[in-house]
Structure 1
Amino acid sequence: MIVSVDPEARVPVLLAGVRDEFVSRPWMSPARYWLAHPGLIGGRDLRAGGTWLAVDPANRRVAALLNGEGTAAPEGVRRSRGDLPLRAADVGELPRIDLAAYDPFHLVVGGLDGVRLWSWNGERVTEEKLPAGVHMIVNAGWERGDDHPRVSRFRPRFAAAARPARLGSGSPRRFWGEWLPIASGDGLALDDPRALVFRKVLDGGQIFASLSVTLVALADEGVRYDFCPVPGDVTSWHQVETA
């Protein structure tokens, strides 16, 4: 997950999220699916019913989830992490939950007041506010150094890319400019150890891969939400209706 924060910019928060999952797990592209969360838009996981990223256009807010590392929740009490982005997008922070019922996660909540990150490793939870700049969150957490091959390759690329100057309509390519091809994989092979968009065949034949890419921009004027259901194919990008 890539987050760019510039409080002085007209579009202060940008987020790029790549969803990695088993290709056999069914899902649906972003829409308004949840009666309990009528104002939220997100892709829907058909197995557990939740989402990996939820957008609240009315409140200029986004909440995104990344699986973490640590101690798994006990089988008898485990809940799907897919409800966390929905509940967090509604309240603007980590919701009141029984953390012990969830496997480790990283939860990013962004709004016009900034971006915060909650990380749960199965034993303790931490909260941090992301400062101005470009940040990457991986399964191990907020990566501040350059040792991670994906981070060392992509953080400088996103940091050097021109950010959208203002919200607007038009094609994803026109709005996002340099951000779109980088978020689409930047031309790296799917098996490159630095790849942002990847595909891996595991023991037993299961395939774990990047299934979609999301770009979200938050500004006073509103929210821009673009979605790519075929990572690596820049022609499959489309703008999600948020009105």
Structure 2
Amino acid sequence: MCTAFVSIEPSSAVPVLLLSVRDEYAGRRWSPPDHHWPAQQSVLGGLDLAAGGTWLAVEPGGPGRAPAAACLLNGFGTMAPAGARLSRGELPLTAVRDGGIAHLDLERYDPFHLVLAGPAGARVLSWGGSRAAEHELPSGLSIVLNDGLEGMAADRTTSELVRSLMAARAAHFRARFEGAARPAPLGGTGRTGRTAEAWGAWLPIVSGDGLALDDPAALIQRREFGDGRIWGSSSVSLLAFGPAGVRYDFGPAPVAGQSGPAGPAGPPADGWRRVV
């Protein structure tokens, strides 16, 4: 149940905020954000060691390049033909390189939702296996779930349990984020390296808000399916876009039974690391 929260306030010094929670089966190995792709040397993101792609790619920007990010969530619908299927993990990399994925043959990918964000705003592209839909996100807080933008994709889960868990998570955290002071992670104290100073009142919420791992609304979660399979949150990414560029903070979400990151040493004691 990956979830992305996008806050857009055009009049703010930091108009676009993106918070992404990655949920995955325990045992699927990954490496923390770094420059993992030689063909796209400026791009940062976590590396999925199973397929070589990523769930979130960040282009920091530079001369001739605007900062951008692309965040991937799995969707529901018709799966791609086995013989022609391509990994969805390449989609965020393509999106930040080319400014989108309109030129791709989407029939070769399993269903997904792709959030594309930058200083000017954000949009969501949803693919359910037979049709694509794209939405520009409005001002305010938007939530993207595995059932799509605000859970309203044309192709949605048939599981009442999964639907209820997504709805509970969205309702709880919408109220919490909207009730807290919106941070400005690229201005004032946000220029420092400390994630807590940059993200202010939002950081305790992003870190789980004190909910138990098995709470129906849990953002940081752990679910056991009774057959040895464990599903849980593996990481949280925080991004802020403004005239000064992009800020990217990353934190693993260590849940009992999760494999955790592979590769470089882990983050500092508070669990958060500023990537850029």
TM range (shorter): over 0.9
Helix, strand or coil: the match of 1:43?
strand
Gap runs ≥5 in structure 1: none
Q: 1:227 aligns with which of 229, 247, 250?
A: 250
TM-score normalised by structure 2 residue count: 0.83
Gap runs ≥5 in structure 2: 153-163, 256-267
TM-score normalised by structure 1 residue count: 0.94
Q: 1:126 aligns with which of 89, 113, 133?
A: 133
Instruction: Specify the code of the residue in structure 2 equivalent to 1:82.
Output: G
Instruction: Specify the code of the residue in structure 2 equivalent to 1:228.
Output: G
Q: 1:24 aligns with which of 17, 27, 31?
A: 27
Q: 2:170 aligns with which of 144, 148, 151?
A: 151
Q: Partners in 1 of 2:102 and 2:197 — Cα distance?
A: 36
What does residue 107 of structure 1 align with? 114
Q: Partners in 2 of 1:3 and 1:42 — Cα distance?
A: 18
Helix, strand or coil: the match of 2:39?
coil
Does structure 1 residue 75 correspond to structure 2 residue 86? no
Does structure 1 residue 188 correspond to structure 2 residue 211? yes
What does residue 9 of structure 2 align with? 6
Relative to structure 1, the CA distance from residue 7 to residue 22 in structure 2 (aligned partners, 3 Å threshold; closer, same or farther) is same
Whether the 8 Å CA contact 2:141–2:174 is kept in 1: the answer is yes
Quote how far apart the aligned CAs of 1:153 are: 0.5
What does residue 238 of structure 1 align with? 273
Instruction: Specify the code of the residue in structure 1 equivalent to 2:250.
Output: F
Q: Partners in 2 of 1:196 and 1:234 — Cα distance?
A: 21
**Deviation by residue 1:185-222 (Cα, 9 ceiling, x = unmatched):** 11111111111111111242011110001100011101
Whether the 8 Å CA contact 2:112–2:126 is kept in 1: the answer is yes
Helix, strand or coil: the match of 1:115?
strand
Q: Partners in 1 of 2:135 and 2:269 — Cα distance?
A: 33
Helix, strand or coil: the match of 2:57?
strand
**Deviation by residue 1:110-145 (Cα, 9 ceiling, x = unmatched):** 112210100001110001000000011111011179
Count of residues paired in the alignment: 240
Q: 1:40-51, aligned counterparts within 5 Å?
A: 40-51=43-54
What does residue 161 of structure 2 align with? none
Whether the 8 Å CA contact 1:64–1:85 is kept in 2: the answer is yes
Whether the 8 Å CA contact 1:181–1:234 is kept in 2: the answer is no
Quote how far apart the aligned CAs of 1:234 are: 8.6
Whether the 8 Å CA contact 2:5–2:19 is kept in 1: the answer is yes
Quote how far apart the aligned CAs of 1:165 are: 2.9
Instruction: Specify the code of the residue in structure 2 equivalent to 1:45.
Output: D
Instruction: Specify the code of the residue in structure 2 equivalent to 1:124.
Output: R
Q: Percent identity?
A: 50
Whether the 8 Å CA contact 1:60–1:219 is kept in 2: the answer is no
Whether the 8 Å CA contact 2:220–2:253 is kept in 1: the answer is no
Instruction: Specify the code of the residue in structure 1 equivalent to 2:46.
Output: G
Quote how far apart the aligned CAs of 1:164 are: 2.2
